[in-house]
């Protein structure tokens, strides 16, 4: 079995720093002490740092306040992403005390792409990659229905990414052309990692192997691009499936969101 500590070490030293060393071209990146702050013209900001911030108490409170002041001046919300193994341990408590709201915790799972490629037979369902705006709009509508929440923002995000070779969108559709499931691979530039994001399947099509097939398809794409590790931030619904496929839980992650 793959060593979870080795996987976490690779994640901490490759995938996490890529957030600010290889950012989205539209983002501006500033460093404030141990953290990096990413800002976009029209989406919520992002703040993250290394596993050990190296500050506590009032110094940490001051760092948090400076990020709030920066985004308040822009009248934009922002996300401070945390991981369960990070230090100081009271960072989440400090964020809550400063007025942040916690989004649902997720489990970070990592697997080797070469172990995830086994084909899955699907009856009446075809997988294909797409960057077409019409497909993306239908995909987002399907994902919103599957998740039971509005995800319209995703359409703009993916349309903006349609010329990005590191983003691969895969849809699963019926013979009639109905998109019933979708997901994407986002290769992390300059690393051995690729992220698996956005897996959603309409309720009446669950239990047919579509999710497993989407993982396998993206794993094959990842291998073709030199990606060694696949990473997922999983809900409790998808975590058991991923563990059966060979993914290993290494930590947890929680986003704390502040709105001006």
pLDDT of residue 22: 83
Residues 222 and 120 in one domain: yes
Judgement on whether residues 128 and 37 belong to the same structural domain of the protein: no
Among residues 57, 84, 107, which one ends one of the domains? Answer: 107
Same domain? 134 vs 101 = no
In angstroms and rounded to an integer, the radius of gyration of the C-alpha atoms of the chain is 19
Whether the Cβ atoms of residue 151 and residue 140 lie closer than 8 Å to each other: yes
What is the pLDDT at residue 144?
92
259 falls within a domain:
no
Count of domains observed in the chain: 2
- Does 257 map to a domain? no
What are the structure tokens assigned to 143, written together? 């994902």
Judgement on whether residues 117 and 237 belong to the same structural domain of the protein: yes
What lies within 8 Å, CB to CB, of 206 at 6+ separation is none
Q: Does 245 lie in the same domain as 126?
A: yes
Q: At 91, which CATH number?
A: 3.40.630
- Decide if 76 contacts 202 (C-beta within 8 A): no
Whether residue 1 is predicted with pLDDT greater than 60 in this model: the reply is no
Output the average pLDDT for the chain: 94
Cβ pair 171, 130 in contact under 8 A: yes
pLDDT digits (tens, 9 = 90+) for 91-132: 999 999 999 999 999 999 999 999 999 999 999 999 999 999
Share of the chain above pLDDT 70, in %: 100
CA 138 vs. chain centroid, Å, equals: 21
Where do we find the tokens 């190296």? 54
pLDDT value of residue 180: 97
211 lies in the same domain as 239: yes
Residue-wise pLDDT tens digits, 179-233? 999 999 999 999 999 999 988 999 999 999 999 999 999 999 999 999 999 999 9
pLDDT band at 77 (very low <50, low <70, confident <90, very high): very high
What pLDDT does residue 97 have? Answer: 97
Nearest to 52 by CA among 91, 110, 105, 100: 91
* Per-residue pLDDT, 54: 97
- Shared domain check, 50 and 70: yes
* Residue 230 shares a structural domain with residue 162: yes
Q: Do 147 and 56 share a structural domain? A: no
> Given pLDDT bands bounded at 50, 70 and 90, which one contains residue 14?
very high
Span 134-165, pLDDT tens digits = 999 999 999 999 988 888 888 888 998 888 99
Same domain, 71 and 169: no
Can you say whether the dihedral through the CA atoms of 227, 167, 237, 17 is positive or negative?
positive
Domain extent for 15: 4-107
pTM over 0.85: yes
Question: What CATH number did the domain enclosing 191 receive?
Answer: 3.40.630.30
pLDDT of res. 156: 87
**Does the residue 260 lie in any domain?**
no
Place of tokens 């086994």: 118
Torsion over CA: 101, 106, 108, 113 (sign): negative
Does 98 lie in the same domain as 34? Answer: yes
Other CB atoms within 10 Å distance of the CB of residue 156? 13
For residues 184 and 200, is the Cβ–Cβ distance under 8 A? no
Rounded (5°) CA angle 34-35-41: 155
């Amino acid at each position: 079995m793959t060593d979870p500590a080795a996987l976490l070490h690779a994640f901490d030293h490759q995938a996490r720093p890529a957030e600010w060393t290889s950012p989205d071209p539209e983002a501006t990146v500033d460093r404030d002490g141990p953290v990096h702050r990413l800002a976009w013209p029209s989406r919520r900001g992002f703040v993250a740092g290394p596993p050990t911030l190296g500050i506590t108490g009032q110094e940490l409170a001051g760092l948090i306040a400076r990020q709030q002041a920066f985004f308040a001046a822009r009248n934009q919300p922002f996300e401070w992403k945390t991981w369960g193994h990070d230090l100081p341990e009271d960072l989440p408590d400090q964020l809550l005390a400063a007025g942040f709201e916690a989004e649902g915790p997720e489990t970070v799972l990592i697997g080797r792409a070469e172990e995830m490629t086994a084909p899955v037979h699907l009856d009446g369902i075809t997988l294909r990659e797409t960057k077409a705006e019409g497909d993306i709009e239908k995909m987002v509508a399907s994902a919103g229905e599957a998740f039971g929440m509005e995800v319209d923002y995703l359409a703009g995000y993916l349309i903006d990414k349609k010329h990005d070779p590191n983003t691969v969108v895969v849809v699963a559709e019926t013979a009639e052309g109905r998109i019933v499931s979708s997901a994407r691979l986002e290769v992390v530039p300059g690393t051995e990692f690729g992220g698996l994001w956005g897996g959603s399947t309409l309720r009446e099509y669950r239990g047919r192997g579509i999710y497993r097939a989407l993982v396998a398809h993206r794993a094959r794409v990842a291998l073709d691009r030199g990606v060694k590790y696949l990473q997922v931030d999983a809900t409790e619904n998808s975590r058991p499936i991923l563990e059966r496929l060979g993914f290993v839980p290494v930590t947890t992650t929680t986003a704390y969101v502040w709105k001006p």
